[in-house]
Amino acid sequence: MTSRPGGRRPRLSIVEPVSRWFDRQPFWLRLLIALAALALVVLGPLGLSSYWQSVLFFPVGVFVLLALGLNVVVGSAGLLDFGYVAFYAVGAYTTAVLGTTHGWSAWQALPVAIVLALVAGVVLGAPTLRLRGDYLAIVTLGFGEIVRIVAQNSGSLGEARGITGIPHPSPVLGTAFTLRPLPYYYLVVGAVVVAVVVTVRLNRSRVGRAWSAIREDEDAAEVMGVPTFTMKLWAFAVGASMGGLAGWIYASKVGFISPENFPFFFSVIVLAAVVLGGMGSLPGVMAGGLAIAFLPEYLRRAAAGETITDWLNKLTGGNVADVTEYRVLLFGAALVVMMLFRPQGLLPSRKRAAELTQASPETPPAPEGAEQAGPAQPGTASEREDEADVVGALIRDGTDAGTVLEIEELGVEFGGVVALDAVSLKVRSGQIFGVIGPNGAGKTTLFNCVTGMVKPTTGRIRAGDHDVTGQKAHRITRAGVARTFQNIRLFPDLTALENVRVGADARHRTSVPGALLGGRRHRREERTGDRESRRLLEYVGISARAGDLAKNLAYGDQRRLEIARSLATGPTVLLLDEPAAGMNPSEKRALVELIRKIRDSGVTVVLIDHDMGLVMSACDRVGVLDFGKLIAEGSPAQIQHDARVVEAYLGVPTDAA
């Protein structure tokens, strides 16, 4: 554990030392603890009354399952969903209609309920996931209300009177599913286990890293090769399917549903369970669901047949006013106090705990005598050759002599303001090409067009053999174009290694089914991606910081990490937007050495920087922009003596200087 300046150790969340203690234990002890927890879950309800068995399932089990599903959307992908109750309703109404109108058994209705809820997630997500933040929340809120209103006004769905006579599941291994709560308790436990396994497998795959990147910075994720729209759609679909499963269990157990069972406020309560427990933390979300569902009921009835008021009277020996009618108020006040004093939740994930304590629990201790951070060193000739192979092996299509980036008559207008005016450039393989110009000349706009962040008004862009004009950013990245940003845009609450892994995933193809099934390609990509990412961190000189959160790295190391993440995508051309900004002279010299090393490995580099000394010493050719126009192109020596360039920078003709 790293310490803060001055020798003060950061304050730790309770989940951090507990989880780290658990990770250090031998396998047999961890297995024993897991089996004990499983035994508690399985045997715990047996000695309880029928009333408390019902409480364990209604609403705790359903709440936990719903919270796990919503956690995929909110905690993993960072998408605010206020209409999650709609997927719960779709699963319940599908079960009801198939069971009562069409005579299906509950088990036959189960896969249909899950699939239709998943389809509902896709139907909601397809037109709305291009929205963000508050706008997305408002649209999802409306979707939840639409489903409820449709059910309330549709004769085939029972209208306001609801649907009765929903069949219970047929017996399994001699156990009958009637109104008895215990079989349903084990049914919902099994559903929760399935939901946990699905979530864990996805979070530990390319899909989970993509969700985390989207949550941190959606635009940067897209530029790193993440198909953000597709991955957000998968998040909605997976979360919705868990909601559909919960709806099937609820309808099968109760035997009656109506629109009143699915109010908007229910979505808010499930969201509160996710936030209270700790977004992104599976134990936390389950604890939040338990607290939200169980405590209000406990405040109403402290023991079998005994109210909380009776319990308080026994405890104090006096006359205590009836407080049961204030239980919701008391519970709400407890939630407010909880979030004020523990905003990370009951059991936050280790990353969330590290985020709020400004510490990284995963930082590996540096070897004795090793530097924690610093610029990469050139090394011996053989070491440089090995390092070059790290990057060279990632290049998709070889880099034979030729044009790797061609820009023809590129024009961009923003509301009548011309940002780029008929710019044409050709960047040949093996070059370090510099783009310079005064502030506002259009340099970053040029990069944004090339990488798909801005759609050009006119012109054409080719990357190698690919026409990438107007293409989505992740498609351009897969065509071999990568970039860094003028203002560093790492994924701050992911580790350095995870940042690079996101870039490496641009070359992988595993999707949700592959991650869930754990196929051969998925396992191969995970091993390869981890190995390549670690070698790239070593390549840029920050391998000792692999486990640090990106936001906790020094500024120079963040710049190097951003370069490593871009290289992980396997580019043929790398665009560096002011990489030396904020660096001291020694860091700039090391950066030039790194850029040359990248070029020598076979990656063509296009560089924007205001440091003329760096540009002139590092670049083979230079292009100059002024007011969106290309006014000069040539070798550094030619550019330094070009009259138009001098006039653009000094503002006066050369003969007047």
- Check whether 617 has a pLDDT greater than 70: yes
The residues near 123 (Cβ < 8 Å, ≥ 6 apart) are none
Give CA 151 to chain center in angstroms. Answer: 34
pLDDT tier at 202, thresholds 50, 70, 90: very high
Asked if the model's pLDDT at residue 132 lies above 90, the reply is no
Report the pLDDT value the prediction gives residue 361, as an integer from 0 to 100.
39
Whole-number pLDDT of residue 55: 64
**Quick one: average pLDDT of 484-493?**
94
Residue 497: pLDDT above 70? yes
Give the model's pLDDT for residue 259: 94
The mean pLDDT value for 205-215 works out to 95
Least confident among 148-162, 224-238, 327-341, 430-444: 327-341
Q: What is the pTM of this model?
A: 0.85
Q: What SS3 state is found at 407? A: strand
Q: What is the model's pLDDT at position 151?
A: 94
Decide if pLDDT at 339 tops 80.
Answer: no
Asked whether the beta carbons of 116 and 94 are under 8 A apart, the reply is yes
Give yes or no for a contact between 538 and 544, defined as CB atoms under 8 angstroms apart: no
3-state secondary structure of 6: helix
In which band, very low, low, confident or very high, does the pLDDT at 4 lie, cut at 50, 70 and 90?
Answer: very low
Neighbours of 209 (CB within 10 A): 25
Evaluate if residue 367 carries a pLDDT over 60: no
Residue 39 has a pLDDT of 81
- Look up residue 301 and give its amino acid: R
Give the pLDDT score at 120: 95
Residues 243-283: pLDDT tens digits?
999 999 999 999 999 999 999 888 988 998 898 888 888 88
- pLDDT given for residue 384 in this prediction: 47
Q: What pLDDT sits at residue 92?
A: 96
Higher confidence at residue 253 or residue 13? 253
Q: What is the mean pLDDT of residues 56-79?
A: 88
Distance CA 405, CA 127 (A): 34
| Number of CB atoms found within 10 A of residue 24's CB | 9
Task: Tally helices (H) and strands (E) across the chain.
Answer: 27, 12
Q: Is the pLDDT of residue 377 over 60?
A: no
Distance CA 625, CA 612 (A): 14
In the predicted structure, residue 596 carries a pLDDT above the cut 90: yes
Give the type of residue at 293.
A
Give the confidence band of 641 by pLDDT, cuts at 50, 70, 90. Answer: confident
Q: pLDDT category, 326, cuts 50, 70, 90?
A: low
Q: Does position 648 have pLDDT exceeding 90, yes or no? A: no
Tell me the per-residue pLDDT of 517-566, one tens digit each, with 9 for 90 and over: 988 999 999 999 999 999 999 999 999 999 999 999 999 999 999 999 99
pLDDT at 327: 58
Distance CA 269, CA 315 (A): 31
> What would the pLDDT profile of 448-470 be if each residue is shown by its tens digit?
999 999 999 999 999 988 999 99
Q: 56 or 163: whose pLDDT is higher?
A: 163
Q: Which domains does the chain have, with CATH numbers?
A: 52-350 (1.10.3470), 398-480+571-657 (3.40.50.300), 490-569 (no CATH)
- pLDDT higher than threshold 80 for residue 346: no
Contacts made by residues 579-585, CB under 8 angstroms, sequence distance 24+: 579/484, 579/607, 579/609, 580/609, 580/611, 580/614, 581/486, 581/609, 581/610, 582/555, 583/555, 583/556, 583/559
Averaged pLDDT for residues 164-172:
91
d(CA 355, CA 139): 30
> Would you state the pLDDT for residue 23?
61
CB neighbour class for 511 (10 Å; exposed up to 12, middle 13-18, buried from 19): middle
pLDDT value for 433? 96
Q: How confident is the model at residue 382 (pLDDT cuts 50, 70, 90)?
A: very low
Note the residue count of the chain: 657
The three-class DSSP label of residue 517 is helix
In terms of pLDDT, which residue wins out, 612 or 366? 612
The overall average pLDDT reported for the chain is: 83
Query: Is residue 133 predicted with pLDDT exceeding 50?
Result: yes
Identify the pLDDT of residue 21. Answer: 65
